[in-house]
Amino acid sequence: EVQLVQSGAEVKKPGESLKISCKGSGYSFTTYWIGWVRQMPGKGLEWMGIIYPGDSDTRYSPSFQGQVTISADRSITTAYLQWSSLKASDTAMYYCARSREAGMLHRSFDSWGQGTLVTVSS
């Protein structure tokens, strides 16, 4: 069974750094693209970026380029989303999700993590 298990909720202050995780299991982690999606409170879904764990090829949405860093550690089948300096506007639920087909970038997301709620408040 394909599973993506995300790290727990975080409460941070503006200016702090943060790295959240998404552990994949039940499939060949290195051969499927994994993406990150933001959902601000009461709002819709926003595609942030995507990584291919096999070679760490990473693509970002222009809206998030330079604001976050996406990475992956193949040895522990885990993808990451990190911030160097959080803002209050980063408060949101963040989901990781797997591309539906191995090796293919232009595919929908067929498996999703449960989400990580990030709250940034002074």
Q: How many residues bind another protein (CB under 8 A)?
A: 23
Nearest to 32 by CA among 114, 91, 110: 110
Q: Could you tell me which residues come within 8 angstroms of residue 82 by beta carbon, excluding any fewer than 6 positions away?
A: 17, 18, 19, 20, 68, 69, 70, 71
Q: Return d(Cα 74, Cα 119) in angstroms, integer.
A: 28
Pick the binder of another protein from 22, 51, 109, 118 (CB under 8 A). Answer: 109
Q: Return d(Cα 13, Cα 16) in angstroms, integer.
A: 6
The reply on whether position 23 binds another protein by CB under 8 A is: no
CB of 16 to another protein, least distance (A): 26
The reply on whether position 112 binds another protein by CB under 8 A is: yes
Supply 10's token pair. Answer: 């975080």
CB of 25 to another protein, least distance (A): 16
Closer Cβ to another protein, 73 or 112, answer by number:
112
Residues lying near another protein in the complex (CB under 8 A) are found at: 35, 37, 44-47, 50, 59, 61-63, 95, 97, 100, 106-110, 112-115
